[in-house]
Structure 1
């Protein structure tokens, strides 16, 4: 969802900056579009640098009790 939001902001900013030719008093839509594109690109960079999925390593071990013959499974998960 975060990745889609940043792409949406970039696309909306590009539309406002390059495609809309309406003049509104007090609002410069080209500047608003440029700001939205900048925020979208910044959000996209932060998404890949800070919020990227972390690598996980899972190790499974099976132990058999010789007295009862039962098997115990143990799983360990570690974030890298």
Structure 2
């Protein structure tokens, strides 16, 4: 879930919990609003955590000539660092 989806869920939940005065027999809209607000908060927290743990990748390439066979040798090393 992205950060925007969490904010959207929270906003829809707040509207259902506090602004809608419709009574439906088979569902309590106020409880549904509170559930959506909690889901939105969880989504916002997950979005922030996923944004904070972005990784950077560094590629290092070294090339040379093999002294035995005379072939060109190319070596690539990729390392991932966390910020």
Q: TM-score scaled by structure 1? A: 0.67
Aligned to 2:68: none
More strand by percentage: 2
Query: CA RMSD, aligned part only?
Result: 2.6
Aligned to 2:45: 45
Give matches, 1:1-80, under 5 Å: 2-3=1-2, 4-49=4-49, 51-52=50-51, 53-56=53-56, 58=58, 76-80=78-82
In structure 2, distance between residues paired with 1:27 and 1:12:
16
The answer for unaligned runs of 5 or more in structure 2 is: 64-75
Q: TM-score scaled by structure 2? A: 0.65
The CA deviation at 1:77 is 4.7
- RCO greater where, 1 or 2, for CA within 8 Å and sep 6 or more? 2
The answer for unaligned runs of 5 or more in structure 1 is: 64-73
SS in 2 for 1:32: helix
In structure 2, distance between residues paired with 1:76 and 1:46:
28
